[in-house]
Chains A and B, each alone.
Chain A
Amino acid sequence: MLEIVVKLALVAAAFAVLPLLVGQAEHKVMAHMQGRLGPMYAGRFHGWAQLVADGVKFAQKEDVVPRAADRWIFKLAPGVALVPYLLVLIVIPVGPGGQVALDLGIGVFFALAVMGVGVIGAIMAGWASANKYSLLGGMRVAAQLMSYELPMVFAASSVAMAAGTLSMQGIVGEWRWWWLPWQAVGAVVFFVAGLAELRRPPFDMPVADSEIIFGPYTEYGGLRFALFLLAEYAGIIVLCALTAVLFLGGWKGPFLNTELGWLWTGLKVGVLSFLVIWLRVSYPRMREDQLQKLAWAWLVPLSLAQLALTGVVKVATA
């Protein structure tokens, strides 16, 4: 019982701290890459106080619910967007042995299913705001979810085929270094589709600020808006952790697997998170039709090819 309480507390702590770290890193990395002065100012040294200042501002703002809005759905949406990512964290192993909060037998399946629920929060927000821009944004969110969920599921099931189990602990246990080239296509498909599902640039058409203000979040302000932002960063952590565990061998590294396994996991998640920020800085936003084309003309066929490759190699080596 005590063990469970401690583990739940650790998961909740990771959920509270890691997204903020990614947010802080995003401020600084973007500031350096794009020569932005704003995020480097508050609190003198490297603008360390900017995130704190943002938090104080969000907490003090009025919670405005537009008269035309669907009140309950509008208020509920940020919670629906945020909480699923907390639930996914519980099945992600950080190290060998018992270093996972809950080793669920259907781990991968559970993680993918619950991650999809987070997107519904954005769709709820888009609909309930009763704002034309929000509605358009919400529709785009739905379109993106439907196109990119499929390659993501295929890529994940390729790993499940390779490992012969759905448990995340089991998958990392089976993982060998030569899975890197073997599952490379699946890894790229999974990561790209995950980025699209999180609506991170270059897949941020649903919140395209120059045409539909801020999409589903247009009418939000204060803490509820902050919860949506937090959901985005929690989503980055979850996506990077899933990619690391499924495709990059989780806690396995060239040396000290058992002693420093958690450090390998953390390192991989950190590097992938940096990559997410780097992609945001480097690529322009994709148009809606380009988004759909990338999913259906590239990612779905590639993930089907990966399934075929995985099946052939697995049976040949069995």
Chain B
Amino acid sequence: MRTYFESYAVLGALLLVGGGIVAGGLAANRLLRPNRPTAEKLTTYECGVDPVGENWAHSYVRYYVFSYLYVVFAVDAVFLFPWATVFSAPGYGMTTLGEMFVFLGFLAAGLLYAGKKGVLSWV
């Protein structure tokens, strides 16, 4: 078993390898590919006609409520992991199981509330 920092150093090394694969591939590709930019070629693609209006178009993000929900639930979910490894350890048992149902109850109530408010139906 390696020490804490050693295992993350290995991960860092792999990250460098990955970056090297991508950067090296693209650098080698530079030798193979042509490069003849023209004004027409560099316009934004919009089904063959010139782009209309702003490229970063304004649009209504319909699912922004989902993202609130996600943030609320995900923060809860993160705490599950450390708890999951110890919840059935000797001496816990029923207590932690009860806690789990309280936790699930909170999440389910939140989901039901969101559903009742009509947040979960796409407009």
Contact = CB atoms under 8 A, between A and B. Distances in A.
Interface in B12-32: 13-15, 17-19, 21-23, 25-26, 29, 32
Most buried by B among A78, A143, A160, A311: A311
A153 B74 contact: yes
A22 interface: no
Interface residues of A, number: 77
A296 B42 contact: no
B71 to A, nearest CB: 8
Nearest to A154: B77
A293 B115 CA distance: 11
- Main SS of chain A's interface residues? helix
Given A61-B33, A131-B55, A146 B67 contact: yes
Nearest to A295: B66
Contact of B33 (A157, A160, A223, A288): A223
B85 A102 contact: no
Contact of B93 (A83, A147, A301, A318): A318
Contacts of A131: 44-46, 55
A314 interface: yes
Contacts of A60: 32-34
Most buried by B among A82, A153, A165: A153
Interface string A287-312: 01100110011001100100110011
A223 B31 CA distance: 12
A246 interface: no
A4 B25 CA distance: 24
Given A90-B11, A109-B81, A150-B70, A135 B57 contact: yes
Interface stretch (A64-72, A185-193, A249-257): A64-72
A124 to B, nearest CB: 14
Contact of A132 (B46, B89, B120): B46
Given A135-B57, A312-B97, A86 B70 contact: no
A315 interface: yes
Contact of B88 (A143, A223, A318): A318
Interface of B: 1, 7, 10-11, 13-15, 17-19, 21-23, 25-26, 29, 32-37, 39, 41-47, 51, 55-57, 59, 61, 63, 66-67, 69-70, 73-74, 77, 80-81, 84-89, 93-94, 96-97, 100-101, 104, 107-108, 111, 115, 120-122
Interface of A: 4, 8, 11-12, 15-16, 59-69, 78-79, 82-83, 86-87, 90, 101-104, 106, 108-109, 127, 129-133, 135-136, 139, 142-143, 146-147, 149-150, 153-154, 157, 160-161, 164-166, 213, 218-219, 222-224, 227, 288-289, 292-293, 296-297, 300-301, 304, 307-308, 311-312, 314-315, 318
Given A79-B19, A130-B55, A165-B85, 10 more contacts: A60-B34, A62-B34, A62-B36, A63-B33, A67-B39, A149-B74, A150-B74, A153-B77, A288-B122, A314-B87
